[in-house]
Amino acid sequence: MTTQTFAPRVFSGIQPSGGLTLGNYLGAIKRFVSMQDEMPCVYCMVDLHAITVWQDPKDLAHNTRELAAGFIASGISPEKSILINQSQVPEHAQLGWIFNCVARMGWMQRMTQFKDKAGKNAQNASLGLFGYPALMAADILVYHATHVPVGEDQKQHLELTRDIAAKFNHDYGVDFFPITEPVIEGAATRVMSLRDGSKKMSKSDPSDASRINMTDDADAIAKKIRKAKTDPDALPSEAAGLADRPEARNLVNIYAALNDQSVDAVLAEVGGQQFGTFKPKLAELAVSRLSPISEEMARLMNEPDEIDRILRRGAEQAREITAPILAKTYEIVGMVR
């Protein structure tokens, strides 16, 4: 139990392991942008997490800069928020090691993301992939962050973050790490594949038609939505009518999230329409929301030095927070400094 009150602070991260998808945007980044006006925020490209599965070095560097461009183009302001690349703030990995010694093997073995990513041959997965959630806990707790906006798929990792904070506090008899609140909100906390309503939209899906990439142009977005899997029925007028229709539900959720409306408000307008009518509307909305972001990303990608400068400055600002928290952690653990 924590009795100490911690100043509110947001932390969240995204892996630079491929391009950004509409799932990242609606499930995470859109919320990152709005939280900037509520409390101090730190947003992170988690390159150390990305290399838990193989990344070509050239791709990693490109994807890290592109992700930074995506954050900024979506509205994350380096003046308001601290924007960093994880490996440039060494306290993440240093606290990660301490947490490797706090977390238990059994906790890690229960993680569904590890099971999914390791697949059938878990013996061949990297040790980093197994320990991934302990580093994620360190990312958050090295800032004493209290709020973590994420998509639904990260819920289990955030519960583990709370378990690690509680065990550290208990083992060392302190009230040092906060018990973090997950922020999983909105109509699109789990955006599904456009080809299969039972699978999450993911940057690692082999089918490009399954996702909308933040770098897709207007034609590509319209084509993917036109070809998205649906059922033959008309849209219902109430959310209950989407219960057994995962593909229809997904498209309506996407529409609602892009337009900042509730699902019920969307269905009040489009209930009774066929997909032949609804899909072009959705495509038009998606293009109008995403094109300005992808254009700004392309512009920023022509100025890689500017991106690197923003990240170096972010790392300096971040270390003013993380260095004292790590130093105090070492002291609590009994390390001679």
Interaction of residue 11 with ligand TRP, rule CB under 6 A: yes
Spatial distance between the Cα atoms of 20 and 25, rounded to a whole number of angstroms = 7
Near ligand TRP by CB under 6 A: residue from 41, 46, 72, 187: 46
b/e sequence 299-309, b meaning 16+ C-beta within 10 Å = ebbeeeeebee
Near ligand AMP by CB under 6 A: residue from 28, 76, 282, 290: 28
Interaction of residue 284 with ligand AMP, rule CB under 6 A: no
**Nearer to ligand AMP by C-beta: 23 or 197?**
23
Q: Which stretch binds ligand TRP (CB under 6 A): 5-13, 223-231, 250-258, 302-310?
A: 5-13
The CB-of-118 to ligand TRP minimum distance in angstroms stands at 14
Interaction of residue 251 with ligand AMP, rule CB under 6 A: no
Which tokens in the block code for residue 156?
Answer: 């289990």
Question: What residue 189 binds from ligand AMP, ligand TRP, none (CB within 5 to 8 A, per partner kind)?
Answer: ligand AMP
Question: What residue 178 binds from ligand AMP, ligand TRP, none (CB within 5 to 8 A, per partner kind)?
Answer: none
Residues marked as catalytic: 117, 200, 203
Interaction of residue 49 with ligand TRP, rule CB under 6 A: yes
Near ligand TRP by CB under 6 A: residue from 10, 42, 73, 136: 136
The residues in 96-155 that bind ligand AMP, with binding defined as CB under 6 A, are: 150-151, 153-154
DSSP state string for 184-242: --STTSSPBPSS-TTSB--TT-S-GGG--BTT--HHHHHHHHHTS---SSPPPSSGGGG
Interaction of residue 252 with ligand TRP, rule CB under 6 A: no
b/e sequence 264-296, b meaning 16+ C-beta within 10 Å = eebbeebeeeebeebbeebbeebbebbeebbeb
Spatial distance between the Cα atoms of 53 and 246, rounded to a whole number of angstroms = 30
Secondary-structure percent of the chain, ordered helix, strand, coil, rounded to 5: 60, 5, 35
Amino acid in the structure at residue 221: I
Using CB under 6 A, list all residues that contact ligand AMP. Answer: 14-15, 23-24, 27-28, 150-151, 153-154, 189-191, 200-201, 203
